[in-house]
Structure 1
């Protein structure tokens, strides 16, 4: 009798498509900097499973990846000919030869998106189980937003929270989570009035300020938060970080999650995000600033999944995202995300 591994391999195609970096962009990446190529079907080795990807995430960090990467960051830089990568959800089609790990037919999450089939070490894929009602919700940036609020900024009940980039993949979750965790007032920033309206209607925000014009940003934030802000979850840096310092209350805690001001700048490589701040304000206000990444606080993931599933089933939270159909639309979807055309996360569906 054939094993599950052998049986599944017999019905697979001989090739798999993936998105590769074609050339290093001079400025922001565009679809012509990438190509979809057909490769021989990847073969799993010992301790590996083969996964047919169903969904993968398009995320801003890819700008930094194709720009060469940042030393110490969790994501390596990419060279021409390298496949892209990102969070993915897929179905195991070939189990590990030793019988360990997930079985054929199980859904798992992993980091080898941007390809139709991926060979993943057993230890690098996570079985999804039934914690969430929709598998694609496992691609949300909720774990990062939750860790930023509960560990990075240590949000307390009744506090005022400011979220920069509040309509993005992380920010669209952060406002909702802050509200559910007991924040007294939640303020966000975005680049368009249309997104601002959606944020106050359905994403937990009490007020939203537009990021332009930059010279009046502090005044507009102070108007939205007349008593100051206690917590700042920053996806942007730049002018918005300076404004948050201006309006911070004594003892405010800042969780620095992203640096989109540099990452998505039309100039440079997206690998730096310089900003000038007034250190005296940090001192006299006793502001705490803490950087946090998605790999920090792994202990929160199970806690988050349990709470996220409960909130989703109760209709208390949503996963704002847009689904883009097909591998050929992946590179254009990255361009659309950089241009700010979508609210929430951008997911490619295969």
Structure 2
């Protein structure tokens, strides 16, 4: 529905996924709701340096759970109760007050969970130059998860051909790429996941050497010793908790751990302790946490590596696409019970 006398005054309805209030424990669908009451003018306000965009694809990511919790310090952020959820997405520019972007440009970066968004901070918004791949890829393999996998593996882990690599949550948006990067380098790769279907995907679609269902392993230490009898050179950490504890027992001397996420801890009221940290000393293990934005400057280098691999079929990517903005809350919450198979995306609109 539109109203107004001309393009400059055109106002349209704007569905939004609204965050209700801070949560504790697991987020629920009822912590968000779809609002159909909002409207927005399809024009950037006079004097603004921002963009008015139409959102096409939205990314569901585990870190978003932490943004639903009350801020615990001045250095942590949270969603604002009563306002739309915010996350990474792909959008098309409807109007621009910024000389770097023009109407019709496709972009990816932080945007609102709504049909249209006014983006005032365009500093980390990137223009999409390659459109010979699905646009949804910019929520995953060519977006935040892709740069996370690339920078965590190549920059943090400093991998070498022939090394032994273990990846937890390996069928997710980041893990599936880390494993394929490692295989392309000539490493031995094992991943863990939470279902037989995902284990089969790791071995058959993503060509991991081995994979196992952690839910079927009563003793994670024994499982890792079975797959890594000589130990682990590189661990790409997505889970934390008991998995990290078991990995520390199985690291090789001078092994490296890239701490990307700890999804097992995000919804706990009291975080689990890690008991085997002393093995970092015994084995001189390096463990480094990182976030992808530390490596924004490597995005062009990352694209130069990954685009030819996609074109040649050397890297494959699996997406789980939920259709319609109204499906967003269920898709996001489903991450924490492993309902998604591959990168979870919400399709808001076609280009």
Query: TM-score, structure 1 length as denominator?
Result: 0.89
Q: Which residue of 1 aligns with 2:273?
A: 275
**Contact preservation (8 Å) 1:232, 1:253:** yes
Task: For 2:60 and 2:226, locate their aligned partners in 1 and report how far apart those are by CA, in whole Å.
Answer: 34
Q: Which residue of 2 aligns with 1:335?
A: 333
**Contact preservation (8 Å) 1:50, 1:95:** yes
- Report whether the alignment pairs 1:162 with 2:137: no
Task: For 2:161 and 2:6, locate their aligned partners in 1 and report how far apart those are by CA, in whole Å.
Answer: 54
- Report whether the alignment pairs 1:217 with 2:217: no
Q: Which residue of 2 aligns with 1:304?
A: 302
Q: Note closer, same or farther for the CA distance 1:13–1:172 as it changes in structure 2 (3 Å cut).
A: farther
Structure 2 gaps, min length 5: none
1:246 to 242, 246, 249: 249
**Contact preservation (8 Å) 2:248, 2:277:** no
Where do 1:13-24 residues align within 5 Å? 13-24=11-22
- Report whether the alignment pairs 1:200 with 2:199: no
SS at match of 1:311: helix
Q: Give the drift of 1:316.
A: 1.0
SS at match of 2:296: coil
2:183 to 179, 192, 195: 179
CA RMSD in angstroms, aligned pairs only: 2.1
**Contact preservation (8 Å) 1:162, 1:233:** yes
Q: Which residue of 1 aligns with 2:95?
A: 94
**Contact preservation (8 Å) 2:59, 2:89:** yes
Task: For 2:7 and 2:57, locate their aligned partners in 1 and report how far apart those are by CA, in whole Å.
Answer: 20
Q: Note closer, same or farther for the CA distance 1:251–1:70 as it changes in structure 2 (3 Å cut).
A: farther
Q: Give the drift of 1:80.
A: 2.3
1:313 to 311, 314, 336: 311
Report how many residues are paired.
335
SS at match of 1:118: strand
SS at match of 1:299: helix
Q: Give the drift of 1:7.
A: 8.3
SS at match of 2:108: strand
Task: For 1:179 and 1:72, locate their aligned partners in 2 and report how far apart those are by CA, in whole Å.
Answer: 41
Q: Which residue of 2 aligns with 1:130?
A: 130
Where do 1:71-90 residues align within 5 Å? 71=73, 76-90=77-91
Task: For 2:244 and 2:138, locate their aligned partners in 1 and report how far apart those are by CA, in whole Å.
Answer: 29
**Contact preservation (8 Å) 1:64, 1:70:** no
Task: For 2:318 and 2:159, locate their aligned partners in 1 and report how far apart those are by CA, in whole Å.
Answer: 23
Question: What do the CA deviations read for 1:248-307 (whole angstroms, capped 9, x no partner)?
Answer: 1100000000011111x4x42xxx744323233111101000001121122221111121
Q: Which residue of 2 aligns with 1:233?
A: 236
* Larger displacement relative to structure 2 (147-156 or 209-218): 209-218
Q: Which residue of 2 aligns with 1:3?
A: none
Q: Note closer, same or farther for the CA distance 1:72–1:160 as it changes in structure 2 (3 Å cut).
A: farther
* Larger displacement relative to structure 2 (229-238 or 39-48): 39-48
**Contact preservation (8 Å) 1:21, 1:83:** yes
Task: For 2:339 and 2:62, locate their aligned partners in 1 and report how far apart those are by CA, in whole Å.
Answer: 13
Question: What do the CA deviations read for 1:219-256 (whole angstroms, capped 9, x no partner)?
Answer: 11111112211001000011111111111110000000
Q: Give the drift of 1:65.
A: 0.7
Task: For 1:187 and 1:8, locate their aligned partners in 2 and report how far apart those are by CA, in whole Å.
Answer: 55
1:51 to 34, 48, 53: 53
Q: Give the drift of 1:69.
A: 4.2
Query: TM-score, structure 2 length as denominator?
Result: 0.89
Task: For 1:302 and 1:277, locate their aligned partners in 2 and report how far apart those are by CA, in whole Å.
Answer: 40
Task: For 1:9 and 1:178, locate their aligned partners in 2 and report how far apart those are by CA, in whole Å.
Answer: 51
Where do 1:287-302 residues align within 5 Å? 287-302=285-300
**Contact preservation (8 Å) 2:320, 2:343:** yes
Q: Which residue of 2 aligns with 1:61?
A: 63
